[in-house]
Amino acid sequence: MPSDTTFDAEQMQLRLLRDKTPAERFALVARLTSDVVRASKRAIARVHPEFSQREIGYRFIELHYGRELAEATRRYVEARGDDQPE
């Protein structure tokens, strides 16, 4: 698989990751995951400026977890009268 990272740079990144505590690694994963979710939702909003935040949330679920889960979530939220899915 092609990579834009040199072997030496990759080895340095791995060493730096290994030097982190489990809590630090978890915090990094949580932050990166949050960044990716926000970027995905921003992209959905750009493609569908007519969507409400709730509709963006449903579309996010559909794209990442499937239509069936998105529809089940929509039905659940609407039945409960809850706020938008995150």
Using 50, 70 and 90 to split pLDDT, how confident is the model at 1? low
Question: Burial, 56: exposed, middle or buried (Cβ in 10 Å; 0-12, 13-18, 19+)?
Answer: buried
pLDDT over 60 (residue 84): no
- The whole-number pLDDT of residue 3 equals 77
pLDDT above 70 coverage of the chain, percent: 92
- Name the nearest CA neighbour of 32 among 15, 47, 17: 17
Read off the pLDDT of residues 35-67 as tens digits, 9 standing for 90 and up.
999 999 999 999 999 999 999 999 999 999 999
- The whole-number pLDDT of residue 82 equals 66
Letter string b/e over residues 12-28, b meaning 16 or more CB atoms within 10 A of that residue's CB = eeeeeeeeeeeeeeeee
